[in-house]
Structure 1
């Protein structure tokens, strides 16, 4: 088959019916002429709403009002997109809403948090993909049958061999018939469980996994890798890959082109345009990534590929809601490799990712994204061996390709709790 294009549309580009109609215009104008795979996120702030509903249901608190708001939001979009009654798409839409309610009804605090989180939040992508496919009059395929992962809930590890086999077995025949819509963020896993009647017999259980928040970019890259796609285009509400988030920094600069390596580093430090895992599979197969604006689709955007370029404008990256944790040995001994091994093991067990780390003779500090549940799990694991202190509500700033002027600009008037500088990167944590 001809080379495939992969388009990824995030939550802002499918935030309501008008946005989905704009998506259709983009597909019709720019996606015609060769096979096209469309990956979509949940609509607008749906994932946040599902997280709130999940927390309430799991604690067995009342969640009817936020759930009804979510249902009405999607039902209104369905009406505006002329989803007709008693059609297969409308029946599937009603089934998804009914299944969501049924799964919420059985939740309790005893159930494994991350596993059931994945089952609930996945409904956002399932509903959005159905509405987008209806609007485009396109085929849809369940991404959970394509991307296969392990049971690392909320951050499924991809089984690349099985995934590539599933993609190549299912997608090419569909793509030859016209555009195909699938879900971002989601994967599928299966494992054996004993039957209730006979514990010696097992039944294969199919479960939903997710690839981490904002994982739809990664989905597009996985599928492009397996299909050896011609290109991936991520449609955003910005003009391309910028040197800073325009919501927080004035006078941003667009990079017309940038290398895989530079972009991977920016994503690792928290640049919000690209998911950190997205670039690796694309770079391995030399698949270019374009970042373009769905508000101005004719504009140039940014081309990310294997290239050489002159020195780039400093990139300013901001990560809010950070936690600074400090560990000190209780007997005032040095922080040794053995101590660090214990700390790193506990961080991995609590699924806390290090954004910055720094050690002195008798203490070790890390900055992570804040999760109350995970931080307390970490404290429980380490409090017997270490004296622990932590601060929350912090912000981590990173300047990639910094200079004296950019450092002075960003640190002015801020109280720095931790700072670190390498040859090309300056980072600091502040209150």
Structure 2
């Protein structure tokens, strides 16, 4: 039993879909394989734009038509027969998407309505993949993840009800997988009253790990446009290294600090059942890739991680008294309520600073909540550099020519916030 996850780059065009089929045939087979697919290309970003336009009362029809035309173009290239059932199903999904956009209410939750709209990217992609695999002779069943991955109503970052999710998956899918493939969506979950939730941006990796855990898979394969798990983003660093094997623990830490190859929540369910994770290239499927498993190494190449669009926020008490545990508790509680994740923190006698992802609305709400108690200063549009397993050479490489606002190091991790 295997789980494959294909990201947006691996289904961004008709050629990408065509490239995917031999990978499934050679490395997956015709049964005992569940395929999780993301939205095509940059569709999620495009749907976010449409959603924001609609929510703010601006014209969104042109942007929506561009998304629809993109999917139609790929479908036309893959399915020359006009009578193919894929067209009817895509048109049905498009009508549902239009209905969601027309039913907006400014009084309803922004995040709740976001989930109902942005989720259509995965629904479109999985529908096309299901029919294309069928056309290529790979018998498969299209499955709606919203009926299996059950969550609470923490919109845009839903928490999984593991007990109920595992029960539903084990009840229905093993029998189907005995006979054929299963195609489903990443990123999506559902509530017990039929509403759509999402698991957080880039959450398709996590979806695949949920299925692997519940099905006791022999492994999870994530197919990407890179050779494996690299020690740095090649767009920012030359001479990158691909790790042939790395531990769950190291991968979790890299994901936590912002490494984009693996979603941070992916590792825990796999590690709990010692299910190995393979990061492979769909451009070179025969390549070695990276195996993430329960292993240990004394030393390996430093990992360089960059988080863009960061915000550095500093709090000091208005009467110039020390920052106490009580003050910190107040700050932490406000951050938790506003779902602002701390990427780095540092305190002195009279101030406390955090680095967090920049969310303009959440930052303003944080200031409104705490301005009576603290003097608050902040800088936006910053970068956070993290070096795991650093040495002096790697630190010098990162800080060269940078305007550093905050610096911190532990035994194994070096971090700087820069303009």
Q: TM-score range by the shorter chain?
A: over 0.9
| Mapping for residues 349-360 of structure 1, pairs under 5 Å | 349-360=337-348
Separation of aligned partners in 2, 1:20 and 1:370? 35
Separation of aligned partners in 2, 1:25 and 1:76? 22
Q: Taking structure 1 as reference, are residues 87 and 33 closer, same or farther at Cα in structure 2, changes over 3 Å only?
A: closer
Q: Please, which runs of 5 or more residues in structure 1 have no aligned partner?
A: 191-204
Alignment length, in residue pairs? Answer: 414
CA deviation map 1:281-301 (0-9, x unaligned)? 000000000000000000000
Partner of 1:396: 384
Shift of residue 109, structure 1, vs aligned partner:
2.7
Shift of residue 262, structure 1, vs aligned partner:
0.7
Q: Is the 8 A contact 1:60 1:108 kept in 2?
A: no
Deviates more, 1:162-171 or 1:30-39: 30-39
Alignment pair present for 1:259 and 2:256: no
Q: Is the 8 A contact 2:317 2:375 kept in 1?
A: yes
Partner of 2:58: 61
Partner of 1:158: 160
* Aligned counterpart for 2:335 among listed residues 347, 351, 354: 347
Alignment pair present for 1:225 and 2:213: yes
Separation of aligned partners in 2, 1:136 and 1:216? 20
Separation of aligned partners in 2, 1:397 and 1:308? 25
Q: Is the 8 A contact 1:5 1:34 kept in 2?
A: no
Separation of aligned partners in 2, 1:61 and 1:45? 21
Partner of 1:185: 187
Separation of aligned partners in 1, 2:170 and 2:87? 29
Shift of residue 88, structure 1, vs aligned partner:
4.0
Q: Structure 2 length normalisation: TM-score? A: 0.97
Shift of residue 87, structure 1, vs aligned partner:
4.6
Shift of residue 170, structure 1, vs aligned partner:
1.5
Partner of 1:129: 126
Give the 3-state SS of the residue equivalent to 2:195 in structure 1. strand
| Mapping for residues 7-406 of structure 1, pairs under 5 Å | 7-32=4-29, 34-82=31-79, 84-137=81-134, 138-190=140-192, 205-406=193-394
Shift of residue 110, structure 1, vs aligned partner:
2.2
Shift of residue 310, structure 1, vs aligned partner:
3.4
Q: Taking structure 1 as reference, are residues 207 and 151 closer, same or farther at Cα in structure 2, changes over 3 Å only?
A: same
Q: Structure 1 length normalisation: TM-score? A: 0.94
Give the 3-state SS of the residue equivalent to 2:354 in structure 1. strand
What is the aligned-residue RMSD (CA, Å)?
1.1
Q: Taking structure 1 as reference, are residues 283 and 18 closer, same or farther at Cα in structure 2, changes over 3 Å only?
A: same
Separation of aligned partners in 2, 1:97 and 1:22? 26
Q: Please, which runs of 5 or more residues in structure 2 have no aligned partner?
A: 135-139
Q: Is the 8 A contact 1:60 1:107 kept in 2?
A: no
CA deviation map 1:60-96 (0-9, x unaligned)? 1011111110000001111111074455432221111
Separation of aligned partners in 1, 2:208 and 2:392? 38
Separation of aligned partners in 2, 1:113 and 1:418? 34
Q: Taking structure 1 as reference, are residues 34 and 87 closer, same or farther at Cα in structure 2, changes over 3 Å only?
A: closer
Separation of aligned partners in 2, 1:387 and 1:310? 45
CA deviation map 1:273-328 (0-9, x unaligned)? 00001000000000000000000000000001011223010000011011111111
Separation of aligned partners in 2, 1:84 and 1:109? 42
Q: Is the 8 A contact 1:323 1:392 kept in 2?
A: yes
Separation of aligned partners in 1, 2:244 and 2:84? 45
